[in-house]
Chain A
Amino acid sequence: MILVIAEQRDGTLNRATWETIAAAQQAGGGPVSVALPGSGLLAIASELAAAAVQEVVTIESPALATYTPDGYTAALAEAIGQLSPTIVALPHTYQTRDFAPKLAARLDRALVTDVVAIKTAEKSPMFVRPMFQGKLTADVVPLGPGPHFVTFQLGAFRADQAARGKSPAPVRALAVTVDAAAIRQRPEPPFREARQAVDLSQAERIVSVGRGIKEQSNLALAQALAAGGGGGRGPPPPPPPPPKSPPRARSATRGGCRWIVRWAARGRRSRRSCTSRWAFPGRSSTSSG
């Protein structure tokens, strides 16, 4: 049995869960079940029951109302012990990255992360994942006793290809004991940064300007266009020094930057023109722009 760990926050299902259900259904490892940790889960459980899965198991506890790695690891370690799956599938989200290695280490089981495809030709499935920042691809076999943990890169499988059942799957509650006093992390409510921190991976449209904009004073035109489309604004590019070399477009994979304002007059990509030099851990570093 493949167990998909669903992800929700404050009663909203992370849609990457459907991608993971699709991946689990295509893995050819037998029936698929979904485990849903949290608190106040009924609405999401019935949403997930539409999938063609064996059952939806809710792991309900007041201690799981807010995500903490200690709480999730304790609850899921116990649930996995009771359900004894062969594979545990998760979306490669920030939350999964926070607790899945801890959970795998607690149970001493293999964890293959950031998987983009599954090869089922051999008797045990092989998991395809990028390495060396997407410059190479590896077929990876998890070793040792099961269950093996696998996390799937966002966007690698299509949510709309998750098979839906003819009738809703049964929903059942699994009793686990989570000791709230043993949870060491004290999370505060999430917040958004100032408007500068526009996350381009979430943007519907991106207005990008090139050498045709000529002068920095003309940038106001592009900003007016973006504002007209209801957009936020990334950080402004630095003022252009005199051109040194012929301008050319560069891909923006270095440093995990997925987007650049191509300020052609600079002739090279400025680090400051990136909205962010941070890695985008949820995505492959192969994609750019």
Chain B
Amino acid sequence: MRERSRNNPMRSLLYIPGNHPGMLQNCAIYGSDAVIFDLEDAISISEKDSARRLVKHALRGFDYGNIEIIVRVNGRDTAYFEADLEEIVPANPDAIRLPKVDSADDVLAADELISRLEEANGLPKGEIGIQAMLETARAIVNVNSIAAASPRLVGLTLGGQDLAADLGIRATKEGYELLYAKSSVVIAAKAYKLQAFDTVFTDVSDLEGLRAQAVVGFALGFSGKAAIHPSQIPVINSVYTPEPKEVAKAAKIVTAAKEAEQRGLGVIAVDGRMVDAPVVAQALRTLELARLAGMEVLEL
């Protein structure tokens, strides 16, 4: 069993419809760093109950090995929200992805219910994370208070399609119309030490378009991106995988920083450039991503 951490890097997160037994069974093999079992948009109303039960049994029955398991429940404004959490929390996923988060209250309501369920089921308190999905203009306006809402929060993401609909605009492949929303989510996430996940690219046949969008997302500062088809995973992973050169440089920086620390030095220089705490933090992140990509990284 993998060690549970609130900050495991996740480059790719594969959505799996919760009512599809074959995909629930095989989803771990495609190389994504996380899977998101969906009880929300991918599931029609008549399938809500069966998907919830199926996901619960999948969580209990299958060993998914080293990947993060996230369940997207239905929003707080629906009749399924409580039932979803009541069945899913006892099965102890790594995180709940909470859609339609408009304000800090939405996060707090989920937090409260999850805490109650953790206690009732003898689970360690506060281990199940929340990823908040911002899908409306109002949510973007409230992004800072949402990010600060709860220590249970581990990540922020946005729902590109819903947000475009709420804004009354058409979502394009390039996604520039969501630039402000994406940036505000990234910055709020970083401010509160949360992960930030880019929205999905919906055209599964256009892997080049996906790559272009993922490159922009990575440049904006997202820590990973959701996928809706296994074929998207290698593309996303490669965008979020550092170049060997970067990895070598990062290793050098981290090594130098450790040595400096042991010798009680503050700011140091590597290859003639000043290295301070943020540079070291960047370098550590690069090494983490490299490890995730299966690159050989010295234990530092």
Q: Do A and B bind each other?
A: no
